[in-house]
A = this chain, B = another copy of it.
Amino acid sequence: MEVTETNQREVKTKTKRSIIDVDIHNYTPLDEIKHYLPRAYRDQIDLWGWRLPGSLYLNGGVKVGQMADSTPPGGGFPGSDLDFMRQQLLDPYHVEYGILTGSDYSCQASPDFDYAAAVSSAINEYTLEHWLAKDSRLKGSVFIPKQDPAQSAKEIHRVGSHPDMVQVIVSSGAEKPYGHRYYHPIYEACVEHNLPFTIHVLMEGVGINGPNTGAGYVSYYPEYRASRPMVMAAHLASFIYEGVFEKFPTLKVVLQEAGAFWLAAYLWKLDEDWKSLRFQTPWVKKLPSEYFRSNVRVSSQPLEPTPNPEMFRQMMKAVYAEETLMYCSDYPHWDFDSPLLALPKLDDELWEKVFYQNAADLYGLPARKSGKGGAD
């Protein structure tokens, strides 16, 4: 996306109403995060470096996976400059609210739980001070050391009530599927602070997490991308079959950046098997698709492209898009989805749900200030 006067005008013409973008990757550079860490860790970092598991061995997009034109004019990493983000994303696309999802989830795959907790807190402090305080359109995600549920709950209690924090975020890479009772202290805290629990693809097969597929480690980046929906699918089945939505009926879970249409056949299968096997898990009281509709939301990017409009229509229905799907751009990653191109044309009502209302309802965001735009 080249930002010129011309295509900015074009954007303004085409986007009739403002939107909510639920996945914007603001850059959280380690040299900034460091200032928010306790002295002991700062000293250790000076001596040994960051001791965080590297995940880039799995990546391979242009410029470490960033959009070719997303480097700020003054230099710096894509997603690091708020002014440039305003110019490139928030203003031209009329982003009324943008949910920041950070850029570095590596502490969540560290075996050192206290360090993971300290880095998570530092990311949260940095984000509050350098991003959320500076533009009221932006809302934040609470990073937690999810491998340590007790400390995670503590961090949620510490910053989760800040009005600009609207969700808790974890990487999809995990030691156990997220429905497991091991994690329930996290959901208790989420429910208390009315924060959705968002699972974002990343860190699968990295650090303390197991292999990224049920058949072992993958070799290449496209293969890794192919594995992402599967890991998300495992989390979803786990939430349902461990009875999490019975124990925490108000908990909302967001599946982020794993696509959406794989959910169609997956929900058919889950429902079918529930019908014949539910006597084995009597605490699962409803059809899996019913839990999905009531407790799960899905972000759009990268949406699997359908072969024809009728299939698209059927797929949107099959994943209950009207209730569950939320647009996101994934800015500034290489596979950025412009709101003008992310989806085939939707009728007005569905557009409003996907591009605004589903996210507004989920995150409790106030209604639009104007019909037009979100800049303030």
What is the 8 Å Cβ interface bit string for chain A, positions 293-334, against chain B (1 contact, 0 not)?
000000000101111101100110110000000000000001
Shortest C-beta distance, A120 to chain B (Å), equals 20
Shortest C-beta distance, A347 to chain B (Å), equals 19
A226-B270, A237-B226 known; A218-B276 Cβ under 8 A: no
Could you say which of B204, B226, B277, B315 contacts A273, with CB atoms under 8 Å apart? B226
Q: Which residue of B lies closest to A242 (CB)?
A: B219
> What is the bound-complex CA distance between A278 and B220, given in angstroms?
11
Shortest C-beta distance, A285 to chain B (Å), equals 14
* B222, A233: Cβ atoms closer than 8 Å: no
* B268, A229: Cβ atoms closer than 8 Å: no
Could you say which of B175, B221, B238, B277 contacts A218, with CB atoms under 8 Å apart? B238
> What is the bound-complex CA distance between A230 and B241, given in angstroms?
17
> What is the bound-complex CA distance between A274 and B223, given in angstroms?
10
A365 located at the interface, meaning its Cβ lies under 8 Å from any Cβ of chain B in the complex: no
When distances are taken between beta carbons in the complex, the residues of chain B under 8 Å from A220 are 241, 280-281
A210-B210, A276-B335 known; A215-B178 Cβ under 8 A: yes
> What is the bound-complex CA distance between A252 and B295, given in angstroms?
41
Report how many copies the assembly holds. 2
Q: Which residue of B lies closest to A176 (CB)?
A: B216
A259-B269, A262-B265 known; A176-B222 Cβ under 8 A: no
Interface size on A, residues (CB 8 A): 71
> What is the bound-complex CA distance between A311 and B310, given in angstroms?
9
A200 located at the interface, meaning its Cβ lies under 8 Å from any Cβ of chain B in the complex: no
Q: Which residue of B lies closest to A268 (CB)?
A: B304
* A213, B226: Cβ atoms closer than 8 Å: no
> What is the bound-complex CA distance between A221 and B318, given in angstroms?
25
A234 located at the interface, meaning its Cβ lies under 8 Å from any Cβ of chain B in the complex: yes
A264 located at the interface, meaning its Cβ lies under 8 Å from any Cβ of chain B in the complex: yes
Could you say which of B60, B274, B304 contacts A269, with CB atoms under 8 Å apart? B304
* B60, A277: Cβ atoms closer than 8 Å: yes
A61-B277, A223-B241, A280-B222 known; A231-B215 Cβ under 8 A: yes
> What is the bound-complex CA distance between A355 and B130, given in angstroms?
63
Could you say which of B215, B307, B335 contacts A174, with CB atoms under 8 Å apart? B215
- Residues of chain A touching chain B, judged by Cβ–Cβ distance below 8 Å, are 60-61, 172-178, 180, 204-205, 209-223, 225-227, 229-231, 233-235, 237-238, 241-242, 259, 261-262, 264-266, 268-270, 272-274, 276-278, 280-281, 302, 304-308, 310-311, 314-315, 317-318, 334-335
